[in-house]
Structure 1
Amino acid sequence: MTGEDQVQGEVRLRPPRNELDGRAVGWWRTQLLITTAVPVLILGVLGALIAPARFWLLLPAAVLAAVGLACTAFFPLWWYRVHRWEVTDDAVYVRTGALWQEWRIAPMSRIQTVDTVRGPLEQAFRLATVTVTTASSKGAIRIEGLDHELAAQLAERLTLITGDTPGDAT
């Protein structure tokens, strides 16, 4: 721990140092586009097939498409700016959120499992998610949007550190 991390002998919480992989922005955008496109397409097809309800089906489709595109342009960049993570010999740190910031810290002695997950879209973007499970009632800590090779190295490092850390992980 450096001097900037301590104030008069007390540990000071600081933002985690690592950003996610830049490809996470494209991954999030693709997820939002798919989530938006499905209902827009359904409403559009129904609007084309049901003449009496055409206006009432195509109007929400257009509004949903506009809102979806705006969210796709804005939110992934915002999420990228506020998501941070770090792994030290003592703990795993994750910070998310801008308006409602959430800091999650898992001491190495409390880690029970480390998992790496790669869904179909993550595989397409060569990304992965590392999930660190502890005995916490709050649930697992997830680090999404990592390069898949970095995620594998991180899982291996966490496994080695937790294996060497005394504690009962409860």
Structure 2
Amino acid sequence: MNAVVDLRPPANLVSRKAVPFWTARAAIGWVVVLAGEGVWLALTGWFPLVVVLVVTAVLAIAHLAVMPRWRFRVHRWETTAQVVYTQSGWINQERRIAPVSRIQTVDTERGPLERLFGLANLTVTTASARGPVQIHGLDYDLAQRLTQELATNTQDTPGDAT
């Protein structure tokens, strides 16, 4: 008899520090756009650009207020001895399940902004054409423990990860 697959959301949320991180990362992009529009306005003096600048500012504020919190509610992860299970996205949402027996590499990544916020991203590369399974916004210490745990589980799981 086939086992029934439970497609519930993964159990664990990412770090709460991901919310201010996602806000800061998005704010950097908006500041670049707004600065560019401001320079354009200053150089041309074309008054209708004020409307564009105001609309951009309103969109930026809405994006910064909604996106990080929404992503925090959606982004989840879970690992067991058999699988790595993730849910991600904020507009387009995706769930991925990767069997531990298919894991080829487990990596952590931290850019300068992640280091500032004490976060890391975990990338689990499998023998899947779909690409790696990624968990963004993990607390750095947790990401390190998960990397070790998954590497150990992969070593203990029979199979050739193909």
TM band (smaller chain): over 0.9
Tell me whether 1:28 sits opposite 2:17 in the alignment.
no
Report the alpha carbon displacement of residue 50 of structure 1 after superposing the two structures with TM: 2.0
Tell me whether 1:47 sits opposite 2:41 in the alignment.
yes
Q: Give secondary structure in 2 for the equivalent of 1:109.
A: helix
1:89–1:161 Cα contact (<8 Å) kept: yes
Gaps of at least 5 residues in structure 1 are 1-7
2:21–2:117 Cα contact (<8 Å) kept: yes
Indicate how the Cα distance of structure 1 residues 99 and 60 shifts in structure 2: closer, same or farther if over 3 A, else same.
closer
Q: Give secondary structure in 2 for the equivalent of 1:157.
A: helix
Identity of aligned residues (%): 48
Q: Give the alignment's Cα RMSD to 1 decimal.
A: 1.6
Gaps of at least 5 residues in structure 2 are none
1:132–1:142 Cα contact (<8 Å) kept: yes
What does 1:101-116 align with in structure 2 at a 5 Å threshold?
A: 101-116=93-108
Report the alpha carbon displacement of residue 38 of structure 1 after superposing the two structures with TM: 0.2
1:47–1:58 Cα contact (<8 Å) kept: yes
2:74–2:90 Cα contact (<8 Å) kept: yes
Tell me whether 1:61 sits opposite 2:63 in the alignment.
no
Q: Give secondary structure in 2 for the equivalent of 1:86.
A: strand
Match for 2:116: what amino acid? A
Deviations 1:139-158 (A, max 9, x none): 11110000011101110111
What does 1:131-142 align with in structure 2 at a 5 Å threshold?
A: 131-142=123-134
Match for 1:47: what amino acid? L
Match for 2:34: what amino acid? V
1:40–1:62 Cα contact (<8 Å) kept: no
Provide the aligned length of Structure 1 versus Structure 2: 161
Deviations 1:65-93 (A, max 9, x none): 11011010011111101111000000000
Tell me whether 1:79 sits opposite 2:87 in the alignment.
no
2:38–2:53 Cα contact (<8 Å) kept: yes
1:39–1:61 Cα contact (<8 Å) kept: no
